[in-house]
Amino acid sequence: MSGCFLLGMIFLFLAYVEKPLSYVRKLAIITFVFVLGFAWNARYAENRLHNVLSPEMEGKELTIEGRIAALPQGNIEGAKFAFEIDDATATLPRRIYLSWQPAWRNPQAIPEIVPGQRWGFKVKLKRPYGSLNPYTFDFERWSFHQDFGASGSVRSGELLLSRDISLTEFELRMELARWKLRKKIQSMLPADARYAGVMIALVMGDQNAIEQDDWRVFNATGIGHLISISGLHVTMLASVGASIAAFIWRRRSWPLLIPVGKVAAIAGFLTAFIYAWLAGFQIPAQRTMYMVGVVAYALWSGKNPRSFDIWWWALAFVLLIDPMAPYTPGFWLSFGAVAAILFAMGNSSGLLGIPTGKELEVHWIYRITQALREACRVQAVMTIALLPLTLYWFYQVSLVSLLANAFAIPLVSYVVTPLAIAGALLPEFIGKWLVLLAHMAMEYLAVALDWMANWNWSVVWAPHPEWWTLLLSIAGIIYAIRPGSLIDEWRRRTLALTLSIPLFIPLLSFSNLSALAVGEFRATVLDIGQGTSVLLETANKKLLYDTGPIQGKKDDAGQRVILPYLRGRGIDQIDRMVISHSDSDHVGGAATLLKQIQFDSMMGSLPINNPLLQNLQSRKVPSIPCRFGQRWIWDGVEFIVWHPSEDTLFEDQYSRKPNEVSCVLEVRNQNASFWLTGDIEKQGEAEIVERLNHSRLTEMADKQLIFMAPHHGSKTSSSLDLLKSLRPDQAFAQNGYRNRYGHPHPTVSARYRDLNIPFYQTPITGAQIWTFKNHTKPSTQFWRHAINRLWHRSIKE
C-alpha cells in the first residue's frame, strides 16, 4: 500500500515540474490517477477482508448485542437483515447478515424488525459462503460488497431499545425513514394488492416484494428498468425541487443577492441527494445525483462543462464511493444508457430554440412532433446500445421492448411514479387515494404487458457471450449510433448487425466447454446446497436429474441456480427430466422449471398422487415410472436404470419410504461410467449389489467409474459392499455447507478415504463439470477453483 502511494507521489511531482500540456505531464497524471485508484481499491478490499468471522467461531452459539443497520426484508414468517455488533473483535466482525425464522416447534410470528432498534440475540454464525455455479448469483461477492463478515441464524432475541440513533447518523436515519415509508405504502393498499411491491419499488427502490411471475413479464417486455428508481425519477424530483425553490426565491428581493438559477441548482441537488438515499442509494440514483451535483457546481462557478464531462465526473464519484460497482449490472446499464444517448445525440440541435417566421404558427405542433420523434429515437438508441450488455447479464433480448416501452415509459414515468411518490409523501387521508390510483394504472398496464409477454416470439434467449463477441458487437453499435448524415445509415446498421451476429451463436459461447461427439457426454453437478441436481448432455440430447431443494414459498433451486445456469448456457429445452424420488430437496425446483423450460418427457419414482405428476399431465408432458432394467441410447451413450425394482408399488402411500425407491441411473460410454444414486440406503444398495453380481461386471472392468455418494453421504448409505462391488475411481457428494444433517458423515468420508477413492464435495469444489470423451480418461473442472476471486473462500473438509 505504501509503495503505491510513494509511486503515485513521484508521478504527481513530475506532473507539476514538467511544462503544461507536455506528454510527460499527461502520462504522469494518468499514472498517478491509476496508482491512486489501485491503492484505494486495495485499501477497500483490505478493510473487508479483515472484517470476517474467525473460523473457530463458526457453528457456535453466541450471544451478541447491537443494532439493526438497514431496511429488513421479509415478514412475520421470517426476516433477513443487516446487524451491527457493538463489541466487534478480531474473531467477531462488526457487520453481519442475519436470518430469523420461526422455530418449527414454536411457530410463533417473529417480532417486527425496525432499523435503529437495539437487540440482544443468540445466534449461530458462519463465514460468508454461497453456492458457486456458472451464471448464478454469487453470495460471497455480494457479502463482500455489503461488508458482511458473517451470516447466520437467530435462535432467540430480546429487544433492548426501540430506537438507538444519534443525530449525526444520517445513513441509519434514512434507513428508518425508508422503513416508515414502506409501512405507509403497505397500509394504504389492500392486503391482496397484486402490485404493492411495484409501488414500493417505484417510491423507494425496494424490489424484494415483487413476485417472480411479474418480473418474468417485465423482463420479457423490456420494461424492467422502469420498475426501480431510475435516473428519470431522480431528475424529475430534482426538477420539482428546483422549481419550488425558484418560485419561492422570486417572490422576494433575494435574487438581487443570489441569482435564482444558482439557488434552483442547489435545491435540485439537495432534492436528488435526499431522494437517492431514500431510494437505497442505488447506482442509477447515485449517477443522476452526481450529475445534478456537477451541473450545480458548474452554475455556481460559471463553467460550462460538456455533457460527457458531467458523465465522467459522475462515473468517477461512483467508483470512488463504491469500487465494487462494476460488478453489478446496474452500473453498466445506467452509465451505458446515458453514454449512448449523449453520443448519439451529440449533434442534435435540441428543442429549446426560439422559432421564427412561419414556425410561430405551428410552434406547439412542431414541439410535440419533435418531442415524440426525439423520444422514439432515444428509446431506439437505448434498446440497440444496451443489447450486448443485456445479453451479457440476463441472456435475453425482448423483441417487443420498443413497443412496450412506447406506452410504458410515459405511463410509469409521468402517471404511476408521480402518483405513488406523492401519495407516499402526502398525509395518508389524501395519499391513500393517489397510491390507489397509481396501483390501478399499474394494473391496466400489466394486462397489456402480460399479453405481449406471452407472444411466442416476444423474447429471444441467447447463451452468455464470450468477451470478444461482446467487444465486436459494442464496436458495431458505437459505429451505428454515431451522429452523421442519413446517407450512410443503412451501411452503418448493416455493419452493426453483422458484428452482433456472434452474440447469438451458441457455439461461440461458453468456450471452456468443448463440443461433444457421438459417444461422449458431460455431467454438470450443480452446487445446489443440501439437495441434488445434475445436468447430463450428449451430442444432441439433455437430461436433468433432480431439481434441487425448495427454501420457503418464493425461493427454490430451480429459480436460484438451475434456471440461470440453463439460460447462461442457452438451453431452453430438456429432453428428459428424471426425478429420483419425492423428497423436497430433489423435486423442489421442478414447478419453477416447468414454467420456464420445455421438457419433452419425465421419468421418476413418484407416487401417483404427487402434484408434480398432475402438473406434467396438465402440460401434456409424458411421464413414466422409473424401473430396473430400463435402458436407452442417446448419441452412442447408454443410460441404464438399476433401481427400483418393478414390483415396487406406487399407491396413495409408499410401500417403502421414499429414499429406498430412489431412481438410480448409470450413464456410460466405451471407457467410462457415471452413477447417479439419489437417496438410496442400505436396503436399496444391497439390491443393487445383488443385481450387479448377476450382471456382466466384466463390461465395467476397464471403465473409469465416477460415483455419486448416495443420500449426500449419509451414514445410512455408501455401504462397504456396494463400494467394493462397483470399485469407483472417484466419488462426489452434493450437500450443503455446514448442513444440519452433518452430511457427509465422518464415517462415510473415512470409508472412501480408506478405499483410496477421491471424494469431492460441492461445498468445497463448487459446481463440478465432468467430461467423458471417447478415448481419454474423464476430466473435471471444479468451479470454485476455476474462478477463485479475492472474496471467494477456500473451503476445507
Sequence-ordered alpha helix ranges (H) in 386-487: 387-394, 401-411, 417-425, 428-453, 467-481
DSSP secondary structure, 73-107, as one string: EEETTEEEEEEEETT--SSS-SEEEEEE--BTTB-
| C-alpha to C-alpha distances, 140 to 132, 248, 283, 331, 788, nearest whole angstrom | 9, 50, 20, 19, 11
User: For 283-323, what is each residue's pLDDT tens digit?
Assistant: 888 999 999 999 898 888 888 888 888 898 899 899 888 88
Q: Say which range, 16-20, 520-524, 541-545, 774-778, has the weakest mean pLDDT.
A: 16-20
User: For 365-418, what is each residue's pLDDT tens digit?
Assistant: 666 666 667 777 777 788 888 888 888 888 888 889 888 988 898 899 889 999
The dihedral through the CA atoms of 712, 716, 720, 721 has a sign that is negative
**Inter-residue contact 654 to 607 (CB < 8 Å):** yes
What pLDDT shows up at residue 734? Answer: 97
Residue 502, preceding peptide bond in cis (omega within 30° of 0): no
**Range list of β-strands (E), 112-228:** 118-126, 151-161
Q: Which one-letter amino acid corresponds to residue 402?
A: L
Which grid coordinates belong to 435?
397510491
What pLDDT shows up at residue 721? Answer: 94
Helix (H) / strand (E) element for 178: namely: helix 170-188
- CA gap 685, 687 in Å, rounded: 5
Q: What number is the average pLDDT over the span 107-136?
A: 90
User: For 537-582, what is each residue's pLDDT tens digit?
Assistant: 999 999 999 999 998 767 899 999 999 999 999 898 999 999 999 9
What pLDDT shows up at residue 17? Answer: 52
What pLDDT shows up at residue 76? Answer: 58
What pLDDT shows up at residue 788? Answer: 87
Helix (H) / strand (E) element for 64: namely: strand 61-68
Question: Would you say the pTM of this structure is higher than 0.75?
Answer: yes
**Inter-residue contact 718 to 753 (CB < 8 Å):** no
User: For 227-259, what is each residue's pLDDT tens digit?
Assistant: 887 777 888 888 888 888 888 888 777 766 788
What pLDDT shows up at residue 565? Answer: 96
- CA gap 579, 594 in Å, rounded: 13
Distance of alpha carbon 560 from its chain centroid, rounded?
8
User: For 322-345, what is each residue's pLDDT tens digit?
Assistant: 888 998 988 998 998 888 888 887
Q: What number is the average pLDDT over the span 55-80?
A: 88
| pLDDT band of 20, cuts 50, 70, 90 | low
The residues, any chain, with a CB within 8 Å of residue 179's CB and separated by 6 or more, are: 71, 72, 114, 115
User: For 449-480, what is each residue's pLDDT tens digit?
Assistant: 999 998 888 888 888 887 777 888 887 778 77
| pLDDT band of 357, cuts 50, 70, 90 | very low
The residues, any chain, with a CB within 8 Å of residue 230's CB and separated by 6 or more, are: 284
User: For 725-773, what is each residue's pLDDT tens digit?
Assistant: 999 999 999 999 999 899 999 999 999 999 999 999 999 999 999 999 9
Q: Give the closest residue to 155 by CA, choosing from 212, 215, 106.
A: 106
Which grid coordinates belong to 513?
466447454
Percent of the chain with pLDDT over 70: 86
Q: Which one-letter amino acid corresponds to residue 424?
A: A
Helix (H) / strand (E) element for 667: namely: strand 664-668
The residues, any chain, with a CB within 8 Å of residue 374's CB and separated by 6 or more, are: 345, 348, 351
What pLDDT shows up at residue 653? Answer: 44
- Crossing angle of the two packed helices 428-453 and 196-204, in degrees rounded to 10: 110
Computed over every residue of the chain, the mean pLDDT equals: 85
What pLDDT shows up at residue 384? Answer: 80
DSSP secondary structure, 566-602, as one string: HHHHT--EESEEEE--S-HHHHTTHHHHHHHSEES-E
